[in-house]
Structure formats: C-alpha cells, structure tokens
C-alpha cells in the first residue's frame, strides 16, 4: 500500500515518470524506499531547500504510522 502511494506521488512530481525506479527493502515494521529519478527531475524531487522531499517523507511517515509501520525514503544516483 505505502509502496504504491510512494510510486504515485513521485510519478506525479516528475516530468519523466518512465525513468522513475523505486527499490524497496521491507522488514517486519520498516519499509525503506530508494528513489532513482532522471537527473533533470532530481531537483523537482528535492525541492527548494529540501522541502519537497521533506514533505514526501513526512506524508509517507504519517500514513505508515497509522498502520504501525515506519518509512525511510532515500534518493540515490
């Protein structure tokens, strides 16, 4: 559920959703998402001063908390 939500949100933010790749590591209580996006879309995901990625992390953490899970979102090259 959280993975699909993360995919939807990230794809909505970028110009090239076909280049988005999200790898996931799932443990008993934690989901870790590694985002790979096109170089030109990296700035859109980060946002000015990290605001966009911060909002994305905060939103996903809030959703995860409602189902007793934790989420970590990282952007990788």
pLDDT digits (tens, 9 = 90+) for 14-65: 999 999 999 999 999 999 999 999 999 999 999 999 999 999 999 999 999 9
CA-angle at 61, arms to 36 and 11, nearest 5°: 35
Residue 10 burial (CB count, 10 A): 23
The pLDDT of residue 77 is 83
Q: How far is CA 51 from the centre of its chain?
A: 13
Q: How far is CA 52 from CA 12, 26, 68, in A?
A: 12, 24, 24
Give the pTM: 0.89
* Ordered domains of the chain (ranges, CATH): 2-75 (3.30.300.20)
């Amino acid at each position: 559920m959280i993975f699909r939500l993360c995919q939807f949100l990230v794809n909505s933010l970028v110009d090239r959703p076909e280049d988005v790749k999200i790898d996931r590591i799932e443990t008993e209580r934690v989901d870790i998402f590694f985002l790979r996006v096109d170089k030109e879309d990296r700035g859109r995901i980060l946002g000015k001063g990290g605001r966009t990625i911060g909002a994305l992390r905060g939103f996903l953490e809030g959703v995860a908390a409602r189902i007793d899970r934790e989420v970590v979102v990282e952007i990788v090259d």
